[in-house]
Structure 1
Amino acid sequence: MAPPPPNRPYKRPAISDQQRRRELALQAQSARRADAQARARSLANSLLSPSSAETPPERDHEPTVADVATAASKLRGSDARRWFARQIMLPEWMADAPPHLATDWHVFARPAGKRCLVVSCNGITISRLRNGSILHRFPSALPNGSKRDISGPASSYSILDCIFHEPDETYYIIDMISWRGYSLYNCTAEFRFFWVNSKLTETTAGDPPSTYHRYRFSAVPIYECTLEGLQAAYSGSTPYVKDGLLFYNKHAHYQAGITPLALVWKDEACSQYVIDTDSKGQVPNEQHVVLELQEDGKLTTSDDPPVVFGSLDNEFIQKSNLRPGNLLRFAVRDERVKLVDGKMEISELQFVGKPNRARAFADSHSKVSGHLRMHFSWENMISFMTRGHGLIMICIFRLCFSMLLGMLL
């Protein structure tokens, strides 16, 4: 790279919004002083029996994490769905290539299936979906996961972040929150991934199903973001159907909710579910987004802080019998999406209705942008990428992954 001309100051590359949030997230977790052990215990109790928690005694001090989690376990309906959904670490859609990708990030192929939290305790294993509903209640070879496999205190619990892959009836472990009562909330992703592999081999949970082991558990292959690792995750064979790539910052703690320290990438080559399709599998001329209605009529994403995508007037809200906190589905047509200074703006939202009741919260800004980017015409895609995110992402869209790897590394 040639040096800048004399008397002309060198201009540093602009830091993307997603990278800025990544840096803030790393700083925030370093300053956090949460009681990780109490947090894991309360989550385990809620997963096992959300309706059985007793009312905590009155206290003369600020409520602890355990108090808050116990109170949350009494929630019902949409409040319960939202609380349970926010206990899982959720990725943002990749908007740019993080710096130091090869040294600071892991990557793996995400299994297609149902995301859930699995807890084993007191001789039983229970899996719960993101909306809090029970997926399976079964015996397993996880620690204290069946009556035959109780070792140590029966109340000792383990919590795994899994995806249930229906074709082979296997729980694929993508993260670990607790193991035999030891909380991993404040451990780095690099350490958690190491424990998933090492601790799983200490059990027979990876064996074929049996009477006391209803479903098989398996760890997903984790790769360094090197040339070989990215190629293996993207185009290598897996025992499961792929649904995109997940990137985890090695230094990231397990952060409940949406975080820029975990990223997801999807395209036609590594996922069947890139953008919305109709009943015939065809891409319609519009895409749908889910937003949350606020007190002032604004429509926002699930980000913290939320991003405003539009608003509804009071007359329409009253006529449609809508309330603040409602999740609403809107259609977005191509001609209503514009690029202003390299950023995506939606000039008009068409109200469709309310989403499925099992839905816990609105789409994130990165997901909305990611879906609409995939739906854009190629000319708009090139304009958006070259302005806001660089040629790296154009290479991803074109599926020229070999070129992408060379540029990333």
Structure 2
Amino acid sequence: MRSRSFKMPPVEDSQNTRRMRRLEEQKRSRALKVESARNVDIFAGLSLNEIEMEEEKAVPKAKRPSRWANVAMYAEPLEMNGMGPALPDDFGTAWIAVAPVPKGKRCLVIAYKSNGQGSVVSLRSRLKGNQLMRFPSRLPTDTILDCILDEHWEHNGILHVLDVLRWRGQDYTQCEASFRFWWRDTKIAELEPPQPPSSSSERPPRFSYPHVLRAIPWFPNLQDPLLLLNTIIPLARTGVTVTVPLAPSPMSDEPNELVVPCASDGILLYVGESSYEKGPSLLAAWVPVEPFGDGQDSALEVFARHVQATTSI
């Protein structure tokens, strides 16, 4: 269905039309929330510590859905037509790109205080909200991040940070995407260096939990096609290499580290003014690396051809 639809001409109610309508609805909703009780926190009144403790004590056979189910925001595939992606006129100035999005499992990271012993992280699946794992963390308590657990995390210890929903009890879902990504980078950079688990001293290493928080790169100001052609799209094709700190070696005083490749899954595009919203969002678009089917180009290559057509190069 998708491979057929992206070759069809845009209809009147195109993805771009629906996107602009949704952005205006979001702006009006945000203004009403601020003007009323100023309660813009989707987690208002919730204590992360109490929530996690309550869910840990829940009866295993209980059918009650998790509070974390479908909280994460995810993008629609970028709508295509015969000429390439149906990009809006303000794409260069109003949008931001996040790339390369690594391969892995999308999840929510909830940091809370456990038994008075610092911060503990609960990794929750994006759809069902069930707990994937629990481990110590250097994140501040009362923090929620939208993340991707690297497909090879057991061997590289990497947890990729995509977005920030809450930090030290302060809600950021109503902030614009461009601010959220800047804030994410600033706060992660301020954290103490990671302390790798002792199991990382093995060769090859094997981790019992991810310990490296890596912010996925983001790019504003997309009006220059060369930024897309020479940097963003090549990164999305090849992925990146990441340096991972390992536990100190008893045989040497030199820093012990591992350089690992992280494969790319594609590019995420966000409307810079958009808020974070639960579930599928028209204000974010997905451009995958993998082809839609046998013998077909990937959305990334169609996207690259469209961008190439906008420049004289």
**Offset of 1:38 from its aligned partner?**
5.6
Counterpart-to-counterpart distance in 1, 2:175 and 2:187: 15
* Residue 259 (structure 1) aligns with: 281
Q: CA–CA distance in 1 between the matches of 2:305 and 2:40?
A: 42
Cα distance change, pair 103–398 in 1 and its aligned pair in 2 (3 A): closer
Match of residue 172 from structure 1: 160
Q: For residues 30 and 405 of structure 1, do their structure 2 counterparts lie closer, same or farther at Cα, with a shift above 3 Å needed?
A: same
CA displacement, residues 239-275 of structure 1 (integer Å, 9 cap, x when unaligned) = 3211121111100100111111001012xxx34xx4x
Which of 232, 238, 241 aligns to 2:240? It is 238
Asked if structure 2 preserves the Cα contact closer than 8 Å seen for 1:40 and 1:178, the reply is no
Q: Give 1:403 shift.
A: 3.4
Distance 1:43 1:111, change over 3 A: farther
Q: Can you list the C-alpha shifts for 1:346-386, whole angstroms capped at 9, x where unaligned?
A: xxxxxxxxxxxxxxxxxxxxxxxxxxxx34887xxxxxxxx
Matched, 1:26 2:10: no
Which residue number in structure 1 is paired with residue 183 of structure 2?
Answer: 195
Counterpart for residue 72 of structure 2: 88
CA displacement at 1:84 relative to structure 2 = 3.4
Contact 1:170 1:216 in 2 (8 A): yes
Match of 1:110 in 2: 101
Q: Identify the match of residue 51 of structure 1 among 41, 50, 55.
A: 55
Number of aligned residue pairs: give it: 242
Aligned pairs for 1:249-398 within 5 A: 249-266=271-288, 270-271=289-290, 274=291, 374-375=292-293
Q: Indicate if the aligned counterparts of 1:46 and 1:53 stay in contact, CA closer than 8 A.
A: no
Q: Does 1:209 align with 2:207?
A: no
Contact 1:107 1:230 in 2 (8 A): no
User: What TM-score, normalized by structure 2, do the two folds share?
Assistant: 0.67
Structure having greater relative contact order (Cα 8 Å, sep ≥ 6): 2
Gaps in structure 2 of 5+ consecutive residues:
1-9, 34-38, 80-85, 114-118, 199-208, 242-261
**1:29 aligns to what SS in structure 2?**
helix
Using the TM superposition, give the Cα deviation of residue 20 of structure 1 relative to its aligned residue in structure 2, in angstroms: 1.8
Residue number in structure 2 paired with 1:129:
125
Distance in 1, matches of 2:129 and 2:275, equals 23
- Which letter maps to 2:184? V
Question: Residues 241, 76 of structure 1: CA spacing in aligned structure 2 closer, same or farther, 3 A cutoff?
Answer: farther
Paired residues of 2:159 and 2:210 also in contact (CA < 8 A):
no
Deviation at 1:402, TM superposition (A): 5.0
Task: Give me the whole-angstrom Cα distance separating, in 1, the residues matched to 2:103 and 2:18.
Answer: 28
Unaligned runs of 5+ in 1: 1-12, 55-74, 145-156, 275-373, 379-393
Kindly indicate whether the alpha-carbon contact (under 8 Å) linking 2:175 and 2:276 is maintained by their aligned counterparts in 1.
yes
Mark the CA change 1:187 to 1:46 in structure 2 (over 3 Å): closer, same or farther: farther
Percent of matched pairs sharing the same residue: 26
Distance of aligned partners of 1:110 and 1:201 in 2 relative to their CA distance in 1, 3 Å threshold: same
Alpha carbons 2:16, 2:88 under 8 Å: kept: yes
After superposition, the C-alpha distances for 1:147-200 in whole angstroms (9 at most, x for unaligned) are xxxxxxxxxx11100000032221111100011111101100000000011111
Between structures 1 and 2, the one with greater strand share: 2
Greater radius of gyration (CA): 1
Aligned to 1:223: 219
Q: How far off its partner does 1:39 sit?
A: 2.2
**Deviation at 1:136?**
1.8
**Root-mean-square deviation (Å):** 3.2
1:299-318 CA-partner distances (Å, limit 9, x unpaired):
xxxxxxxxxxxxxxxxxxxx
Q: What TM-score do the two structures reach when normalised by structure 1? A: 0.52
Contact 2:266 2:300 in 1 (8 A): no
Whether the 8 Å CA contact 1:163–1:171 is kept in 2: the answer is: yes
Q: Does structure 1 retain, via aligned residues, the 8 Å contact 2:233–2:300? A: no
Match in the other structure for 2:111: 120
Q: 1:126, 1:138 within 8 Å by CA — same for their partners in 2? A: yes
Give SS of 1:42's match: coil
* SS of structure 2 residue aligned to 1:218: strand
CA change 1:233–1:48 in 2 (3 A) is farther
Q: Is the 8 A contact 1:125 1:137 kept in 2?
A: yes
Deviation at 1:228, TM superposition (A): 3.5
**Amino acid of the structure 2 residue aligned with 1:399:** E
1:19 Cα deviation after fit: 1.3
Contact 1:85 / 1:257 at 8 angstroms: preserved in 2?
Answer: no
CA distance in 2, matches of 1:43, 1:253: 22
> Matches of 2:295 and 2:263 in 1, distance apart?
28
- CA distance in 2: counterparts of 1:31 and 1:238, whole angstroms: 39
